[in-house]
Amino acid sequence: MKHKTVFITGASSGIGEACAKIFAQNGCKLILNARNTDKLETLKNEFKSQYGTDILLLPFDVRDRAAAEKAISGLTDGWENIDILVNNAGLALGVDKEFEADIDDWFTMIDTNVKALAMITRLVVPGMVKRNKGHVINIGSVAGDAAYPGGSVYCATKAAVKALSDGLRIDLYDTPIRVTNVKPGLVETNFSNIRFHGDKERAKKVYNGIKPLTGTDIADVVYYAASAPEHVQIAEVLVLATHQASGSMIWREQ
């Protein structure tokens, strides 16, 4: 993995940050994207001093097409040779019923989880095709396998991530470029705080009575897929906490 260039979206926290760390620990060069420039700067300094990582910060909102096109087409000095794209930026907003939920929340999820993921892929993969190598790793979700109460549009966006991953894998099957969809279940990050619009008490309850996964647990799987031998394509991985059986089946200790 040494010297591979890894581009991670949503790298300032959670699964994205954990992915950045594991690739940094393994000698990769990192292009880190997120909106929060301060947090990215902190990670850059931390990884540089701890692992000597070569890091380029590419702060923009993945939903901003003009900013994404400008940032990615402007890559030079070897940074344009992206080996691994980790499409991690994404979020859930709300758990209201489909006939009652906030339409703005829906559009934010669709814009981020679906439209931006497809667009970043569209902007990065042509370079991989030209160089005849590369790997796209999408962060999907167990939510994409089946809908659960209050999850309808979020689940729909993650089902779309599966379709986008499968479609890309099909379109690249005559190339050495690999496509992976990693589908986490309950992972304790800022995910639920964001989902509940900052209501920390409600967010905490999501993980009551169950030991959830961590960002690092998911990053380990991402790294495994990225470092598998060239002829091995980890197409899809569902990663659940031991007491979670599906998006809606969660056993909680009383």
Nearest to 155 by CA among 209, 210, 90, 85: 90
- Which contiguous run of DSSP H or E holds residue 179? strand 178-184
Residue with Cβ nearer ligand 8X3 (109 or 124): 109
- The reply to whether 186 sits near ligand 8X3 by the rule CB under 6 A is yes
Burial level of 56, CB count in 10 A (0-12/13-18/19+)?
middle
**Which one of the listed residues 51, 154, 173, 207 is annotated catalytic?**
154
> Which pair of tokens denotes residue 1?
């993995």
232: left (phi over 0), alpha (psi -120 to 50) or beta: beta
Residue with Cβ nearer ligand 8X3 (60 or 196): 196
Nearest to 115 by CA among 183, 155, 163, 63: 63
Cα–Cα distance between 83 and 71 in angstroms, integer? 17
- The reply to whether 10 sits near ligand 8X3 by the rule CB under 6 A is no
Minimum CB–partner distance for residue 179 and ligand 8X3 (Å):
19
Residue with Cβ nearer ligand 8X3 (32 or 143): 143
From the list 8, 32, 143, 161, which residue makes contact with ligand 8X3 (rule: CB under 6 A)?
A: 143
Give the strand pairing for 135-139 and 5-8. unpaired
Unique residue bearing structure tokens 């950045």: 20
Cα–Cα distance between 158 and 28 in angstroms, integer? 28
> Helix (H, G, I), strand (E, B), or coil: what is residue 1?
coil
Unique residue bearing structure tokens 């019923």: 97
- The reply to whether 185 sits near ligand 8X3 by the rule CB under 6 A is yes
Residue with Cβ nearer ligand 8X3 (1 or 206): 206
Q: Mask: binding to ligand 8X3, 200-239, rule CB under 6 A, as x and -? A: ----------------------------------------
> Which pair of tokens denotes residue 132?
């005849």
Instruction: Report the residue closest to ligand 8X3, judged by CB.
Output: 141
From the list 142, 161, 219, 221, which residue makes contact with ligand 8X3 (rule: CB under 6 A)?
A: 142
Binding segment (CB under 6 A) for ligand 8X3, from list 62-70, 79-87, 137-145, 227-235: 137-145
Residue with Cβ nearer ligand 8X3 (119 or 143): 143
Tell me whether residue 223 is one of the annotated catalytic residues. no
Binding-site residue total for ligand 8X3 (CB under 6 A)? Answer: 7
Catalytic residues: 154
Residues that bind ligand 8X3 (CB under 6 A): 141-143, 184-186, 247
